Structure 1
Amino acid sequence: MVHRLTWFEPQRGEDQLREFFITALIDVGASLILQSRDGTYVCITSLPPRWKLTPGVTPSDTTVFGKEIGERLVEMKAGLKNPGDRAELEIEAADDTFFEFRCRMAEMDNHDLHLITVVIDRTEDRRRERLLRALLREVSHRSKNLLAIIQSIASQTARYAGSLDTFLGKFRGRLHALSQSQDLITDSSWRGAYFRDLLKQQVERYIQENGDLVHVSGDDVLLTPNASLHIGLALHELVVNAVSHGDFLQRRRPIEVSCRRQELPEGPVVKIIWEEPFSGIDESRDAKASRFGSTVLERVVPSSVNGQAKHDLKNGLVRYELTFPLETFD
């Protein structure tokens, strides 16, 4: 049996209640259709705007919803015989819109059977679902890339670590640098990270009290997520090497860092230059080609951003220059 209202004020007229329910149906994007057992339309409320009632034409599934949808509704409803029988149908209409038809057979107070159909606009729900699926695919793709980078870092760190303690110390530092860059990427809704933010992270972690000794100039370029991860890793290596093997702190001579966008015939590029004053020849710096830090700076990072790098120690300077094409954002 169809239940009546749970409660309502007796003094409320039918017109007020009818207005209330129709307004509520419109707000939730739902339409109600009541049909007799043989399919004859009894009433329709808040029909979606895309479907119109033709003046002078008796409403039916076909005349209201068109031949294709109407025939599917008639077929679905033909299978409802007894009170409580239910069926659902989702329709993808034109203009990438979606509607759900929920139909059930109900017994009224006079024991007559009627078909009650609820039409719900599911367009926004389906769009959100598609967006969510796309985001999940993107997260999966980026997670795989991140895991590949971590695997590479672990492998290369182990190759040049002389002991387990050395491996753990270097690997943790590089992993932390990667996670910091990832935080910036996530905060930007996956757009990427700005160069100065990447540099600031490493300076604040390793030489916070002497941050004034790192001078930065040029353009604060927004880098893609992939470039952000690898440039962040390169800056980590440069800062750690400067603190561990350099003498700029003792001599109070600043490191000059620049990042500039340049327009070339083949497209925009980014050029990053690191110039660190260094006096004398230290064995650890002179043998840089055998260290993972050098591998990151000279091979891993340039390859990952489709660029080229130069890493030299001469004339009292540790100089690193990285040039790579700039991927623009829409």
Structure 2
Amino acid sequence: MVHRLTWYEPQRGDEYLREFFISGLIDIGATLILQDMEGRYSCITTLPARFRLTDGEPPTDTSLFGEEIGSRLADLKSRLEQPGDHAEMEIDAGDDTFFEFRCRMITMANGRNNLMTIVIDRTEDRRRERLLRALLREVSHRSKNLLAIIQSIASQTARYSGSLNSFLGKFRGRLHALAQSQDLITDSSWSGAYFRDLLQQQIEKYVQDGAADLIHVTGENLLLTPNASLHVGLALHELTVNAVSHGDFVATRQRIEVTCERIREDGRDSVRITWTEPLGQSDEEGQAGSARFGSTVLERVVPASVNGSAVHQVRPGFVYYELTFPLEAEG
């Protein structure tokens, strides 16, 4: 038998087809209801567990779905006047469940008109929609934060750059550091980035000639919030670039000691990050005056952005940086 785009073998029998259709309806989360034009039910398949059939009584829209939904469903069906007419509605059934009702007037093989109602569980669809909206809001929020950081970097870099070439070199490096941190945050579905991953990014890019082992890390590999990840990544960029450009740890084969630890401060969990870099006499002056924006980032921009505090010292024999901020700080 061929009818439009539907075909089946009549000899298979109704029982075979009934199992096929019911299995399909269960799989897609759909209910099929058939009524005559007086509203009497002749078939209900795969009714959602939320709705109940009453034993010993013929089903009605009200007994199946309750007063409110039954009333709305009756109004929807009253708009169907000719075969082929159809109408739809989506209802909130409570307890965070949602269903779509599709009603259509059809003509059966015996020539009589009937009302067909398809009920589709849209709960998961609505949850996905809410999640998507939340993610889009998060993207918007993160984008605005990132643009504000970039604006600050551009302004401060320009302030302390003596030439266009100097500005472009520093600005590109800092943007790349932000981009790397953002990649880690995105890969974690915006849960943040681990401290050692942030540091490793900078080591891989700037520390060459097999000197990566000279940066020694101890303490905890803490997961930082997205906002903290961006700014800690920027601080590590400044420290690493200054160490490579103006320090002598590679030439002297002296280790830079980096720590990250969880501490308790002011009644809350906090993060303390330290950087201790050996410094030769000939390099102290270069480190102290090499990159005033580096100092601005390390001493002002980063700690302010994570609601923390910082200590940055260039002393005879070493460079010391300490950043402390709440573990859950977010911007």
How would you bin the TM-score normalised by the shorter chain? Answer: over 0.9
Find the aligned partners of 2:71 and 2:223 in 1 and give their Cα distance. Answer: 55
Deviation of 1:45 after TM superposition, in Å, equals 1.6
Find the aligned partners of 2:6 and 2:312 in 1 and give their Cα distance. Answer: 80
Q: Which amino acid aligns with 1:238?
A: L
Deviation of 1:10 after TM superposition, in Å, equals 3.4
The 1:238–1:77 alpha-carbon spacing in structure 2 relative to 1, beyond 3 Å, is: same
Deviation of 1:88 after TM superposition, in Å, equals 0.2
| Within-5 A mapping of 1:232-251 | 232-251=233-252
Find the aligned partners of 2:261 and 2:122 in 1 and give their Cα distance. Answer: 48
Q: Which amino acid aligns with 2:236?
A: L
Question: What is residue 279 of structure 1 aligned with on the other side?
Answer: 280
**Runs (5+) with no aligned partner, structure 2:** none
| Within-5 A mapping of 1:37-52 | 37-52=37-52
Question: What is residue 257 of structure 1 aligned with on the other side?
Answer: 258
Higher deviation after alignment, 31-40 or 122-131? 31-40
Deviation of 1:286 after TM superposition, in Å, equals 2.9
Aligned residue pairs, count: 326
Q: Which amino acid aligns with 1:217?
A: T
1:160 aligns to 2:180 (yes or no)? no
Contact 2:307 2:329 (C-alpha < 8 Å) held by counterparts? no
Q: Which amino acid aligns with 2:309?
A: Q
Find the aligned partners of 1:164 and 1:86 in 2 and give their Cα distance. Answer: 67
Find the aligned partners of 2:276 and 2:155 in 1 and give their Cα distance. Answer: 29
Question: What is residue 311 of structure 1 aligned with on the other side?
Answer: 312
Find the aligned partners of 1:48 and 1:274 in 2 and give their Cα distance. Answer: 60
Find the aligned partners of 1:5 and 1:193 in 2 and give their Cα distance. Answer: 53
Find the aligned partners of 2:254 and 2:48 in 1 and give their Cα distance. Answer: 72
| 1:110-162 deviation line (CA, Å, top 9, x unaligned) | 43221111111111111111111111111111111111111111111111111
Find the aligned partners of 1:221 and 1:292 in 2 and give their Cα distance. Answer: 27
Higher deviation after alignment, 299-308 or 190-199? 190-199
SS in 2 for 1:11: helix
Deviation of 1:251 after TM superposition, in Å, equals 2.0
Deviation of 1:103 after TM superposition, in Å, equals 0.5
Deviation of 1:265 after TM superposition, in Å, equals 5.0
| Within-5 A mapping of 1:1-330 | 6-208=6-208, 209-280=210-281, 282-287=284-289, 291-327=292-328
Contact 2:98 2:126 (C-alpha < 8 Å) held by counterparts? yes
Find the aligned partners of 1:67 and 1:54 in 2 and give their Cα distance. Answer: 15
Deviation of 1:5 after TM superposition, in Å, equals 8.5
Find the aligned partners of 1:46 and 1:62 in 2 and give their Cα distance. Answer: 18
Deviation of 1:263 after TM superposition, in Å, equals 2.2
Find the aligned partners of 2:238 and 2:276 in 1 and give their Cα distance. Answer: 14
| 1:241-278 deviation line (CA, Å, top 9, x unaligned) | 11111222222222111112112351122111111111
Find the aligned partners of 1:104 and 1:10 in 2 and give their Cα distance. Answer: 26
Deviation of 1:20 after TM superposition, in Å, equals 1.6
Q: Which amino acid aligns with 1:50?
A: R
Deviation of 1:280 after TM superposition, in Å, equals 2.2
TM-score, normalization: structure 2?
0.93
Q: Percent identity?
A: 68
Q: Which amino acid aligns with 1:285?
A: Q
Deviation of 1:328 after TM superposition, in Å, equals 8.5
Q: Which amino acid aligns with 1:227?
A: A
SS in 1 for 2:296: helix
What value does the CA root-mean-square deviation take over the aligned residues? 1.9
TM-score, normalization: structure 1?
0.94
Find the aligned partners of 1:264 and 1:162 in 2 and give their Cα distance. Answer: 41
Contact 2:261 2:272 (C-alpha < 8 Å) held by counterparts? yes
Deviation of 1:4 after TM superposition, in Å, equals 8.6
Find the aligned partners of 2:259 and 2:194 in 1 and give their Cα distance. Answer: 13
**Runs (5+) with no aligned partner, structure 1:** none
Deviation of 1:95 after TM superposition, in Å, equals 1.6
Q: Which amino acid aligns with 1:257?
A: V
Contact 2:228 2:329 (C-alpha < 8 Å) held by counterparts? no
